[in-house]
Structure 1
Amino acid sequence: MRMLTRQKRGCRPFVFDIPLLLLLPLFFLPPAVSEALAETLYVQPSAEVPIRSGQGTDYKILAVVPDGLAVTVLEEADPWVRVRTQGGTEGWMLKRYLSAEPPLSDRMTALQTRNEKLEQEYDRIRLEMEALTTAYSQSQQELNACFADRDEVRSNYQALRTDTADVIAIRKNLDDTVRENQFIKQQLAEIEAEKKKLEKNTSLKWFLAGGLVLITGWVLGLISGKSRRRKSSLY
């Protein structure tokens, strides 16, 4: 074991045991720290248990505690323990009357309190579930409405596509009709030009025919005049 030696002038050397040095602060702990390290036990169901001023039945009874009372154990000297009651009385009592388990009444009270808290928690969860159920129902209705709107949009889209196809077909027919009209107009223009050309040629023919008739008449007139003159000369 390691030893620590301390030398004082004019004094005899002395030795400290290190483990003892480590335990020394425990003897100077403040009361609050000592109480924090103390154990709380409960008086077992039995007759009233006396708290005495010392370790023995011949010591003075300082108080009598009922069963179920919680006491703080300050010191143990088997079979006795030094305790402090909630009222501040300190003394010695037999350890066999103490138990780490709370009394049945306290446990029942704790269970009832816990049961009440669980019931409150159950009510809170039930209300939240009802609210969630209502919100879910509303969301489902809104979702169904969205589905209905989607189906309507799809139907309108299909109808629009059909109408668009019809419009395209009508536009194509209209374009074909316009082109056909233009072709007919062109044909009519050509026919009109041909007609005018024929009319012009016909007029020219009639003019030539008239001129030819006139010349023929003139020639016939000359021939007829000569014939008359010849006949008159013969007579």
Structure 2
Amino acid sequence: MMKKLLIPVVVLLGQVVAMSVAQGATNFVTDDFEVMMRTGPSIQNKIVRPLRSGTSIEVLREDSGNGHSQIKLSSGEIGYMLTRFITDKPSARSRLRAVEEQLAQLRSEPNEIRSLLADSQSENQLLIAQNIDLTNAAQAAEAELEEIKAISGNVIKLSAQNQKLESEVQQLLLQLDDIRIQNEALKDNSERVRNLLGIGVLLLGIFLGWVLSISGRRNRNSWGS
């Protein structure tokens, strides 16, 4: 009697375990050993391939009667395997490998951070040096600009003075031309005056000679009488 009751209980537990595997969700092969993937839900069906522990599978359909589930691999291949070797968590070996990878990454991160910090410090020093160079260049350019402004101001001032001097020179040249013209006129007047004086002296001499000759003749006539 006890044996008869045990069988339904075992079957019921098997159904509960089979129902606990979510259909359509991503599941994994347990890490107990390799599980055979077959063409059908029976050990008499042909083996398609062995599935390693931690292989990712998708459960398509469960058959609680024979303890098999229809599964689909990530490659798209479809087959059957025992439901009891399916779990909703990665295998302990896979989890251990992931933890080891994370640990290695965490261990390498301080070195990477130190390397990044050193690179950042070097880049910061380079930027500081470039900033100093740019500051010096800006100051030199500003000083040169001030010098150019001063030179430009002097050039403008000298240009104005030059224009003023040129204007004064032109005025002096005009005055010199006037003086030269006046001088030429004076020379002409002096020449005319000299000529007139010469003519006057000549005429005066002739007149005096004529007067003297007349006086001489009168005197001789008076003496003769």
Relative to the length of structure 2, the TM-score reads 0.57
Q: Distance in 2 between matches of 1:77 and 1:194?
A: 142
Q: Which residue of 2 aligns with 1:217?
A: 208
Gaps of 5+ in 1: 1-21, 41-74, 83-94
Runs of 4+ in 1 over 2 A off after TM superposition: 75-78, 98-115
Q: Distance in 2 between matches of 1:77 and 1:232?
A: 197
Shift of 1:165: 0.6
Gaps of 5+ in 2: 1-37, 56-80
- The answer to whether residue 56 in structure 2 is matched with residue 28 in structure 1 is no
Q: Which residue of 1 aligns with 2:19?
A: none
Q: Which aligned pairs between 1:82-161 and structure 2 lie closer than 5 A?
A: 100=91, 112-161=103-152
Shift of 1:174: 3.3
Equivalent position amino acid for 1:113 in 2: A
Equivalent position amino acid for 2:149 in 1: Q
- The answer to whether residue 54 in structure 2 is matched with residue 39 in structure 1 is yes
Q: Percent identity?
A: 9
Q: Distance in 2 between matches of 1:164 and 1:141?
A: 34
Q: Distance in 2 between matches of 1:180 and 1:99?
A: 110
Equivalent position SS for 2:46: helix
Q: Distance in 1 between matches of 2:94 and 2:47?
A: 34
Q: Distance in 1 between matches of 2:198 and 2:54?
A: 152
Shift of 1:180: 2.6
CA 1:228–1:103: 2 relative to 1, 3 Å: closer
Tell which has more relative contact order, 1 or 2 (C-alpha 8 A, sep 6+). Answer: 2
Q: Distance in 1 between matches of 2:146 and 2:111?
A: 52
Q: Which residue of 1 aligns with 2:76?
A: none
Q: Distance in 2 between matches of 1:220 and 1:76?
A: 181
Equivalent position amino acid for 2:212 in 1: G
- The answer to whether residue 222 in structure 2 is matched with residue 226 in structure 1 is no
- Name which of 173, 194, 197 aligns with 1:203: 194
Relative to the length of structure 1, the TM-score reads 0.55
Shift of 1:206: 1.2
Q: Distance in 2 between matches of 1:127 and 1:187?
A: 88
Shift of 1:119: 0.6
CA-atom RMSD, angstroms? 3.4
Equivalent position amino acid for 1:29 in 2: V
Shift of 1:140: 0.6
Instruction: State whether residues 39 and 46 of structure 2, in contact with CA within 8 Å, keep that contact through their aligned partners in structure 1.
Output: yes
Q: Which residue of 1 aligns with 2:29?
A: none
More moved, 218-227 vs 127-136? 218-227
CA 1:178–1:110: 2 relative to 1, 3 Å: same
Q: Distance in 1 between matches of 2:90 and 2:209?
A: 171
Judging by fraction of residues, say which structure has more helix: 2
Equivalent position amino acid for 1:208 in 2: I
Q: Distance in 1 between matches of 2:214 and 2:151?
A: 91
